[in-house]
A and B are shown apart, each in its own frame.
Chain A
């Protein structure tokens, strides 16, 4: 049975913020983004970097016109990426899948929010 690890009181993890909690000899990064909670092991699938300690960035997209010409780039704030600070590997916040090569992913945990706070199930 999964153990519950206390993350924070609800007010201490406002929207757009992240909290990293210890879990044995590793950590778990817990995010609240647009009202939803996500939790991943703080361990990049590449060389083991602390992925959750990096930036949370919007996906970058190319703008290609109907005539197939390149028109520039833009941020897509509907798709956020967890970026490992060691090398820049990017993971989709919703799924934990590595965006450049889906054969890699972050280990995902379930998160629950109760009256007295937020818990991750590890």
Chain B
């Protein structure tokens, strides 16, 4: 295929192979002996839209299903109305070539789903043992104006995932999508899927406008706390948001968008005292990087000291609650002055609360080396962040990859 490299030039590419693209990742893996390290990726992705026709078969509402079938077929020339699209070009206009080229990649027709084949390819190249896999276009499903479509789509996706995909390989797990715009449906989702194999938690896609403190969600939080399943907030962006609409470059939309929704939900979560109401519920903030956390900690602590009457449930500083939460690392901001990053790690108690993730195959993915090569971490901290923290968070059985697994530093 031809990739335009300017208005008058192009580059021709005939084939695409993830293994070849990631050969330098495999070299990093071998040089650092990462095969000996438990690596759990708490946030990677697949493209569920490429399986839309299969997923739609699981939609129960006959009218929504008919609509979905129509638009997932060929010839309508229209985007499916089941997934809201937003403006954006994450591939930096083709510079991140795996986006335009992914359709060229061949996978064996052996009964194993293409997404499983592709996932295992990049996982093996990086030395990743287990993943928590998220969808891609559905990260924006919280913006759908019809809550019943968010419910229908997410329930169909979750059923398809636990029935067709997760059983194919134990290395692939998921934090299932919660249709947060319908609190009752979200509760039923946890009830129905919480004990299914490969389900290590539940996720809320953060780009939405329902507040996490709404009483309607309390029974869902309680149920997840009882089940021991973590709740993740997965970031994304919305260029149509009135605030982000004032930006004119995707760089800014992304840098801001992937942090502000999680920052808003996190602030609401803490200041409304939800950590006091659900002390056993583990909360994870995904794909906002790390730099926003010290910012929010300092802002909330400063205001809380002056206005504690507005947050009477709190028994300690907001930052101390935030230190009990979990954070995924990607896209990890790496300043030229590593002292800044070291201080961030200290502030979030990274050794126990930070979980590495790749976000692969998305454009700003991170390799395990972003953690493994940090000069200020000792071996135990590196191994905790790369795998052990997530193993504990998900209560993950890793015996399939490490039959004699011992936590780093000899911990339990």
B7 within 8 A of partner (CB):
yes
**0/1 per residue, A59-77, Cβ < 8 Å to B?**
0000000000000000101
Residue of B nearest to A43 (CB): B24
**A-B contact number at CB 8 A:** 58
Chain A neighbourhood of B94, CB < 8 A: 55
**0/1 per residue, A34-60, Cβ < 8 Å to B?**
000000001100011110011111100
Whole-angstrom CA separation of A43 from B31 in the bound complex: 15
Main secondary structure of the interface of B (DSSP, over half): loop
B92 within 8 A of partner (CB):
yes
Count of A residues near B, CB < 8 Å? 24
Known pairs A47-B369, A48-B24; A87 contacts B6 (CB<8 A): no
Main secondary structure of the interface of A (DSSP, over half): loop
**0/1 per residue, B341-371, Cβ < 8 Å to A?**
0000000000000000000000111110110
Tell which of B95-103, B228-236, B317-325, B384-392 binds the partner. B95-103
B76 within 8 A of partner (CB):
no
Cross-chain contact B21 with A77 (CB below 8 angstroms): no
Whole-angstrom CA separation of A55 from B9 in the bound complex: 11
Chain A neighbourhood of B25, CB < 8 A: 48
Count of B residues near A, CB < 8 Å? 26
Cross-chain contact B336 with A47 (CB below 8 angstroms): no
Whole-angstrom CA separation of A77 from B21 in the bound complex: 27
Whole-angstrom CA separation of A85 from B5 in the bound complex: 13
A residues with a Cβ closer than 8 A to B are 25-26, 42-43, 47-50, 53-58, 75, 77, 83, 85-88, 90, 101, 103
Given contacts A55-B11, A55-B97, A88-B92, 12 further A-B contacts (CB under 8 A): A26-B27, A42-B24, A47-B366, A48-B27, A48-B28, A50-B24, A55-B5, A55-B95, A58-B6, A85-B95, A85-B98, A101-B336
